[in-house]
Amino acid sequence: MKRAFKYRFYPSESQEHQLLRTFGCVRLVYNKALEARTISWYEQHRRVNYGDTSAMLTAWKKTQDLAFLNDVSCVPLQQCLRHLQGAFTSFWKKQARYPKYKSRKRSRASAEYTRAAFRWRDGRLTLAKMAEPLDIRWSRPLPEGAEPSTVTVSCDRAGRWHVSILVETTIEHLPPTTAEVGVDAGLTALVTLSTGEKITNPCHGKRDHARLARAQRALSRKQNGSNNRVKARLRTARVHARIGDRRRDFLHKLSTRLVRENQTVVVEDLNVRGMMKNRSLARAIGDASWAQLRSMLEYKTRWYGRALVIVDRWYPSTKTCSRCGHLLDRIPMGVREWTCPGCDTTHDRDVNAATNILAAGRAAAACGVGVGPTRRQSARHLTQPSPRGWKKQELPGVSLAESRPVGRGGRQARSAEISPSMRPA
């Protein structure tokens, strides 16, 4: 598989000047190609593909106003046109929104070099139009015998330079294990495991909130276009970078631990975008970064031969008793413990939800059916035709029930309710 290794490097003055010019040319070509495709469609109802934009780039280089495009490597310019084509492909498949213009202030500055635009020799990387190799800090070695196929150079808002090296490598699967875990995401405890363990939320954004507020207040007082505003913006970006780096490091360690210790990891399909509309909890939800944790679990389980099971977001894991299956009408957010009226068992809210998530994941993996909510507390079993009419049929351990409409258009889905016999002890 292809895997990217990211390192920090420190360019010389001439290298920095050349890279900044390359970033500007890439942004200009991307925006001009996007404008040409948009105008062609809305005025002429004609689609422009990658080949057309590549011909436009050749014509732009021959004009007097855009002759400076010849001063940088042509490979990053061609690659940005390929990226634009990929953005339109995702838009046509309804997987993304319409492509936006790249902003000099808001967009991440980057340039991609293919194998023809850089030289890799004796562990030293030299880009096109440069005489000296990059001063890279090799924080970890590349796989033995790996040859880079693509190199991406970027500069973040905090002024840090990074190079991402894409190589072809193999990742050995971890030894199989019988351990399984259900994961319930939260705010006080970032995740609660079905084993009863709670991992406290570090709240990196909250810990540096005062420092970030001071930097943002100082930035707001600076005059637009002044050098002091540039310095203040850089200080604010460094605080944001510090928060993001610490959060990313913690999530990497947590996801790696979950994947290494368990053969199957079961999580909920949370609607994070919808939750962010809650003005009271939006900052805390964004600081928790549940979507980033799930993304890490997805690719790490593929790497190491593990299984990741996603439970439907409407499955009532919190309101269902993990011992007898009793379903409550509602549980307020402030209630952290509750007693089941059916079996008089006292549950911790998060541990009970993680236990139910694990049971639902086991049912989905064993029966191959989606796990979702039941319309009523007592499940209505799936009926099948018989000579005397409709007869109730039950699967061993799982009863199929019709759920409420989910998704667009009110589609009806079949969901599985976990019986007490399948719940972990």
Question: Residue 383: is its pLDDT beyond 60?
Answer: no
Q: CA 191 to CA 266: how far, in whole Å?
A: 12
Sheet containing 189-193, strands listed edge to edge, beginning at the edge strand earlier in sequence: 198-200, 189-193, 180-185, 264-268, 307-311
Query: What is the rounded average pLDDT for all residues in the chain?
Result: 85
Question: What pLDDT shows up at residue 400?
Answer: 31
The DSSP H or E segment spanning 241 is helix 227-261
- Which of 112, 180, 312, 350 is catalytic? The answer is 350
Q: pLDDT-derived band of residue 368, with 50, 70 and 90 as boundaries?
A: low
268 is catalytic: yes
Q: pLDDT-derived band of residue 289, with 50, 70 and 90 as boundaries?
A: very high
350 is catalytic: yes
Q: CA 70 to CA 77: how far, in whole Å?
A: 10
Q: CA 269 to CA 310: how far, in whole Å?
A: 6
SS3 string of 335-368?
Answer: CCEEECCCCCCEEEHHHHHHHHHHHHHHHHHHHC
Residue given tokens 């019986």 in the structure block: 419
3-state secondary structure of 415: strand
The type of residue at 326 is H
The DSSP output letter for 225 is T
pTM metric for this prediction: 0.80
- Which of 184, 312, 402, 417 is catalytic? The answer is 184
For 162, the token pair is 């990074």
**Over pLDDT 70: what percentage of the chain?**
86
Q: Within 13 Å, how many C-alpha atoms sit on residue 16's CB side? A: 10
3-state secondary structure of 211: helix
- Which of 268, 287, 312, 402 is catalytic? The answer is 268
344 is catalytic: no
Q: What is the pLDDT of residues 123-146, one digit of tens each?
A: 899 999 999 999 999 999 998 888
Question: Residue 370: is its pLDDT beyond 70?
Answer: no
Q: pLDDT-derived band of residue 373, with 50, 70 and 90 as boundaries?
A: low
Strands (E), 50-131: 109-114, 118-121, 124-127
- Mean pLDDT of the 16-20 span: 96
The type of residue at 56 is M
Q: What is the pLDDT of residues 146-182, one digit of tens each?
A: 899 999 999 999 999 999 999 999 989 999 999 999 9
